[in-house]
Amino acid sequence: MRSNRFIISVLVAGLLLGASQTLAATPPEERWQELDQKIRVLERKLELEKETSDKQAAKRGVVVAGEKGFAIRSVDGAWQLKLRGYVQADGRVYLDDKPDAFTNDILLRRVRPIIEGTLGRDYQFRIMPDFGRGKTELLDTYIQSNYWPTAQFRVGKFKAPVGLERLQSGASLLFVERALPTSLVPNRDIGLQIAGDLIGGTLNYAVGVFNGGVDGGSTDGDSNDDKDVAARLFAHPFKNSGIGALQVLGIGVAGSYGNQEGSLPSFKTTGQQTFFKYATGVTADGWRWRVAPQAYWYVGPVGLLAEYVRSVQEVSNGAVTEDLANQAWQVAASWVVTGEDASFKGVKPKRSFDPNNGAWGALELAVRYNELEIDQDAFPLFADPTKSAEKAGAWTAGINWYLSSNLRVAVNYEQTEFDKGSVSGDRETEKALLTRVQVAY
């Protein structure tokens, strides 16, 4: 305002010099009133010009680029368009594969550009296709209302709220491949969900109605009129306690219930080889329910994750029907050797890879054991024990090298043993070396 008055004073001085004769003939009191009025008019004009300039700047928006991607947003942040994504280049080598049953491979496991944004602050959207493995698939497409933080509505295609590791982003996985319990929970489904945080953020809930898909599968439509109901409760009971060792302890339970008819899934090892499939003519034919207790705990550089899934499905083979209960579980542990915090969303190195300045990024070691067991009643009427294993149990050792927040290199050794699954008895032990180079932004 002072600068405005200075400008106005200069203008007024010019006016005074240019109109000295006229002003000299005018009474002093009227002259001062006239000058004061002109000053007020000029001040208001400058204020209006500034307001117009500010509004135009707000409309122009801001372009931002950083380690979390690129964004165009309004000055107040209410309107945003973000571009993120990640690419995973994998290698698979099967050791002691004497009959050459499996093919060593180099592949693009995931190629996922992500477009997301906010519409007037209270609404957001997300679109994520995948071009990995030589396929084109639309994974996430939804819009969500965030008007009430305790009741966020989402509609579209997205992950059903059941499996713990399934809900973890593919860019944040501790191992190259998810564990066997993920084979028994739904992947992405089309539906409507309400979710939110309660009790100061210590309790998260989600409940939704979905088309319903097979174990481990995604859907783009439905084959029957019935729908699945899926729900999850997950608590961080000590989040606000001030007890550091317990603040990132999470425990919960999830499940789903619905009717499924038609095709049934096959199950793969963590090395991505099929070890179980139902016999020809066997179909889903009735109610299916799942239950999935789950937990994780992160204390500084150490992390633990565990989950159990039980999936019960009514199946039929001709006139014979049976309720089959398949179950799986996993326990995984990790340690960030370089001291960074472990978390469900991955590790952020304190210093990015820069050997010239003595910085090498972050190093993480991880181990896991997981199992998937098929209901004994599935054999031999619903599955052939000479072709499909009754149980798969796998242990994994892994190393993650985080060169930066955007670049990671992973190496896993997976060894899976089976019960049955071969004409001679047990299926041959699978030994796989899995590698990954990941770029995420």
Q: What is the dihedral of CA 256, 259, 263, 269, to 10 degrees?
A: 20
Check whether residue 189 and residue 290 sit in a common domain: yes
C-beta separation of 129 from 139 below 8 A: yes
- Asked if residue 246 belongs to a domain, the reply is yes
Backbone phi, psi, residue 51, to 5°:
-60, -45
**DSSP-assigned beta bridge partners for residue 421:** 426
Radius of gyration of the chain (CA): 31
- Asked if residue 97 belongs to a domain, the reply is yes
Give the DSSP letter of residue 354. B
Check whether residue 48 and residue 94 sit in a common domain: no
Cβ neighbours of residue 264 under 8 Å, at least 6 residues apart? 214, 278, 282, 283, 284, 313, 315
Q: What is the dihedral of CA 177, 179, 183, 186, to 10 degrees?
A: -80
**pLDDT (0 to 100) of residue 106:** 95
**DSSP-assigned beta bridge partners for residue 123:** 119, 145
Check whether residue 306 and residue 373 sit in a common domain: yes
- Asked if residue 405 belongs to a domain, the reply is yes
Number of domains within the chain: 2
Tokens standing for residue 41: 């008019």
Check whether residue 37 and residue 167 sit in a common domain: no
Residues 191-244: pLDDT tens digits?
999 999 999 999 999 999 999 989 999 999 887 788 999 999 999 999 999 898
Cβ neighbours of residue 20 under 8 Å, at least 6 residues apart? none
Cβ neighbours of residue 288 under 8 Å, at least 6 residues apart? 212, 256, 257, 258, 259, 260, 311, 312, 313, 314
Check whether residue 29 and residue 174 sit in a common domain: no
- Asked if residue 116 belongs to a domain, the reply is no
- Asked if residue 118 belongs to a domain, the reply is no
**pLDDT (0 to 100) of residue 372:** 98
Which one, of 364, 369, 372, lies nearest residue 414 by Cα? 369
Residues 412-424: pLDDT tens digits?
999 999 999 999 8
Check whether residue 252 and residue 342 sit in a common domain: yes
**DSSP-assigned beta bridge partners for residue 117:** 81, 125
Residue 188 CB-half CA count within 13 A? 17
**pLDDT (0 to 100) of residue 168:** 97
- Asked if residue 132 belongs to a domain, the reply is no
- Asked if residue 212 belongs to a domain, the reply is yes
Cβ neighbours of residue 93 under 8 Å, at least 6 residues apart? 104, 432, 433
**pLDDT (0 to 100) of residue 47:** 79
Give the DSSP letter of residue 212. -
Residue 312 CB-half CA count within 13 A? 8
**pLDDT (0 to 100) of residue 423:** 92
**pLDDT (0 to 100) of residue 407:** 97
Check whether residue 43 and residue 168 sit in a common domain: no
Domain that holds residue 49: 2-56
**pLDDT (0 to 100) of residue 213:** 87
Check whether residue 394 and residue 246 sit in a common domain: yes
Check whether residue 43 and residue 105 sit in a common domain: no
Check whether residue 224 and residue 298 sit in a common domain: yes
- Residue 401: Cβ-neighbour burial (10 angstroms; 0-12, 13-18, 19+): middle
| Residue type at position 17 | L
Which one, of 219, 215, 137, lies nearest residue 182 by Cα? 215
**pLDDT (0 to 100) of residue 357:** 93
Check whether residue 189 and residue 44 sit in a common domain: no
Which one, of 337, 336, 325, lies nearest residue 290 by Cα? 325
| Residue type at position 421 | G
Distance of alpha carbon 432 from alpha carbon 229, whole angstroms: 37
Locus of tokens 């550009």? 113
CATH of residue 278's domain is 2.40.160.10
- Asked if residue 119 belongs to a domain, the reply is no
Q: What is the dihedral of CA 130, 132, 133, 139, to 10 degrees?
A: -20
Helix, strand, or coil here: 3? Answer: helix
Tell me the CA distances in angstroms from 392 to 72, 215, 371, one per residue in order: 48, 16, 6
Tokens standing for residue 246: 């317990």
Which one, of 220, 304, 208, lies nearest residue 257 by Cα? 208
pLDDT in tens, the chain (441 residues): 555 555 555 555 555 555 555 545 556 666 677 777 777 777 777 777 777 766 666 566 788 888 888 999 888 888 999 999 999 999 999 998 777 778 899 999 999 999 999 998 899 999 999 999 989 999 999 999 999 989 999 999 999 999 999 999 999 999 999 999 999 999 999 999 999 999 999 999 999 999 998 999 999 988 778 899 999 999 999 999 989 899 999 999 999 999 999 999 999 999 999 999 999 999 999 999 999 999 999 999 999 999 999 999 999 999 999 999 999 999 999 999 999 999 999 999 999 999 999 999 999 999 999 999 999 999 999 999 999 999 999 999 999 999 999 999 999 999 999 999 999 899 999 999 999 999 999
Check whether residue 165 and residue 46 sit in a common domain: no
